[in-house]
Amino acid sequence: MLVLDRVSKTYPNGVQALARFSAEVSQGEIVAIIGGSGCGKSTLLRAVAGLDRASSGRVTLDSEAIAAPHAKIGIIFQEPRLLPWLSVADNIGFGLADLSAAERREKVARALARVGLADKAQAWPRELSGGQAQRVAIARALVPQPEVLLLDEPFSALDAFTRRDLQDHLLDLWADTRPTLILVTHDVDEAVALADRVLVMRPRPGRLFDQIEINLTRPRDRNAPLFENFKRSVLTSLDRSLDRNVPDRDATQGPGQAMWW
Amino acid sequence: MISDAPVLQQSSEPAESAAAPSRLSRYARPMLGLLLPLILALGWELVVWLGWSNGRLVPPPSRVFATIAELARSGELIRHIAATLWRVGLGFAFGVIAGTLLGAVSGYWSLARRLLDPTVQALRAIPSLAWVPLFILWLGIFETSKIVLIAVGVFFPVYLGVMGAILIVDRKIVEVGRTFRLSGFAMIRRILLPAVLPAYVVSLRVGLGLGWMFVVAAELIGASEGLGYLLLDGQQLGKPAQILAAIVIFAILGKLTDWLIEVAAAPFLRWQDAFGRTKGT
Ligand SMILES: Nc1ncnc2c1ncn2[C@@H]1O[C@H](COP(=O)(O)OP(=O)(O)OP(=O)(O)O)[C@@H](O)[C@H]1O
Ligand SMILES: [Mg+2]
């Protein structure tokens, strides 16, 4: 279980990005974090990843405190961040330096096949499309089999079709080993499609505002009325988190309005 | 880049179509570049042959090559080339070692940079040839002062190149290393080194160019052998063909050594997305 216990973060310039954020995420759960721009989502994720230290409070994974990057925690950023001097295969094997070459080759080959890029093994990252590159990044993060995978707006730079493809693909990969997923997103549709639970954050300073359980079985039908209902409640909660007047959301909404930020 | 990438079945088709035009241009392009100098040289040869000019001050190519051939036959040429290559080689080696070490230290530790960099930058502002009298006083007019002068010339571009390259390594890529818990040394080996390599190769080439420049200066100041000595000797004895011969050999050696660096670095830089590589053909 991943526990965030009153995590606060004040940057050296005095910005209080996070204020006493607490949450518990059980093993294998998929949690989406959504909230206004600048409300501290990335800050939170970086604290969980051990990339930045919280000013106070603590993050524990199975009661082990996380203060530095941990073998059981992987992270995927908004950009693929592939190493341009390594082939696709070597990028995926980057986190497997401890294994023997043969073991590494085998795991990488399996991961490549799993993300459908077996034919790109020897390609350079620059030869990939944005969606392919992000799939490589996902494979690289998953291949060491982390217990927790953090994703910071992983699909936001992709077009709508690729994004949906990769969302389904992520779920598919998740089903293999069922790591805990914590997904920061601006896309309400994405949050409801993937998550067991949506955490809504409130800005200045960033803190937890609301939690919405998404009680839908997988695979989820994005056109089902129930799916729409959940989207509406997330949107309503988002509006309230920013002290906006809650519009009448019963009027049918175009898909464009599902993107929220 | 195309020939030795282990290409899988699927990607073999674009590789082939890309290879065809580049194979043609691989030979055609240098030929094109040779056209102008060849025409000029032949033209001048013709002018002298027809007797329109005696070619005393500007000797025709045939006379320059005759001079080179004569120098080569007597064994003089090898001796001069060896002397010059030795000086450039040593000066380059020392300059590169010092520039790489100090550049890496200043790039990696901000404290060292604050201590070291202002001094280095101040020294860099001095035209390096201004050191010559001092070096001669300190180190004598023989080999040491020449090699130090060349090393100084090589040092600055390498130092700046290494430091600059480390400073602009993408923080996001470094973060990838951190998430995979790379320790200091592994971080340097697996992230920093490959990231700075392209800029490093460029700085080596710039440094080598300066090394060749400074060896001429050093040998003009006082030497009994070396290509620079051939230049000076040709001037004092009024032998322009010898001067041109030395210049031609400088050009060949300069280009050759630069090409050696390029070729040695090429296997490590195949990944680069450089403009010149994809569009240069
Ligand atoms: N390195 C930093 N130094 C100082 N302030 C920072 C730093 N990083 C972020 N902040 C500030 O902290 C707050 C939270 O930033 P954060 O990046 O966590 O927001 P976010 O929720 O991820 O926003 P977005 O949705 O736009 O990505 C913002 O007000 C931001 O200006
Ligand atoms: Mg962010």
pLDDT digits (tens, 9 = 90+) for B38-54: 899 899 889 988 888 88
| Dist. CA A153 → ligand 2 center (Å) | 7
pTM of the model: 0.81
Q: Are B211 and B150 in contact (CB under 8 A)?
A: yes
Q: Which two tokens stand for residue B16?
A: 């082939």
pLDDT of amino acid A247? 59
Q: Whose CA is nearest to atom 7 of ligand 1?
A: A11
Q: For A224-252, what is the mean pLDDT?
A: 79
Give the span between the Cα atoms of B214 and B135, in whole angstroms: 13
Length of chain A: 261
pLDDT of amino acid B2? 39
pLDDT of amino acid B25? 62
pLDDT of amino acid B117? 92
Q: Is the pLDDT of residue A188 over 70?
A: yes
**CB A15: neighbour CB atoms within 10 A?**
13
Bridge partners (DSSP) of residue A25 are A2
**C-alpha to C-alpha distances, A16 to A153, A201, A207, B172, nearest whole angstrom:** 22, 14, 10, 23
Residue A210 zone, left/alpha/beta (φ > 0; ψ -120 to 50; rest)? beta
Which of helix, strand or coil describes residue A40? coil
**C-alpha to C-alpha distances, B191 to A12, A60, A137, B173, B177, nearest whole angstrom:** 27, 29, 16, 8, 7
Q: Is the pLDDT of residue A255 over 50?
A: no
Sign of CA dihedral B141, B143, B147, B148: negative
Bridge partners (DSSP) of residue A197 are A31, A213
Chain A residues within 8 A (CB-CB) of chain B?
49, 51, 68-71, 74-75, 77, 79, 81, 83-86, 94-95, 97, 119-126
pLDDT averaged over every residue in chain B: 85
Q: Is the pLDDT of residue A139 over 80?
A: yes
**C-alpha to C-alpha distances, A20 to A67, A172, A238, A241, B40, nearest whole angstrom:** 17, 34, 19, 16, 79
pLDDT of amino acid A18? 92
| Dist. CA A82 → ligand 1 center (Å) | 23
Q: For A63-74, what is the mean pLDDT?
A: 90
Q: Are B226 and B83 in contact (CB under 8 A)?
A: yes
Which of helix, strand or coil describes residue A86? coil
Instruction: Tell which one of A8, A9, A15, A260 to mutate to probe ligand 1, the residue whose CB is within 8 A of the most ligand atoms.
Output: A15
Q: Are B61 and B41 in contact (CB under 8 A)?
A: yes
pLDDT of amino acid A254? 45
pLDDT of amino acid B8? 38
Instruction: Provide, rounded to the nearest whole percent, the portion of chain B with pLDDT above 90.
Output: 52
**DSSP-derived secondary structure letter, B10:** G
Whether A42 is in the pocket of ligand 1, judged by its Cβ within 6 Å, is yes
pLDDT of amino acid B4? 43
Q: Is the pLDDT of residue A94 over 90?
A: yes
* Ligand 1 nearest-atom number relative to CA A39: 21
Q: Is the pLDDT of residue A191 over 90?
A: yes
Q: What are phi and psi of A4, to 5 degrees?
A: -105, 120
Give the span between the Cα atoms of B169 and A127, in whole angstroms: 21
* DSSP conformation letters of A98-136: TS-HHHHHHHHHHHHHHTT-GGGTT--GGGS-HHHHHHH
Q: For B173-191, what is the mean pLDDT?
A: 92
pLDDT of amino acid B9? 38
Tell me the pLDDT band of A205, cut-offs 50, 70 and 90. confident
Whether A19 is in the pocket of ligand 1, judged by its Cβ within 6 Å, is no
pLDDT digits (tens, 9 = 90+) for B213-230: 999 989 988 778 999 999
Hey, what domains does chain B have and what are their CATH numbers?
17-54 (no CATH), 61-278 (1.10.3720.10)
Give the span between the Cα atoms of B53 and B30, in whole angstroms: 31
pLDDT of amino acid B6? 41
Higher pLDDT, A259 or A37: A37
Tell me the pLDDT band of B19, cut-offs 50, 70 and 90. very low
Hey, what domains does chain A have and what are their CATH numbers?
2-82+131-253 (3.40.50.300)
pLDDT of amino acid B184? 86
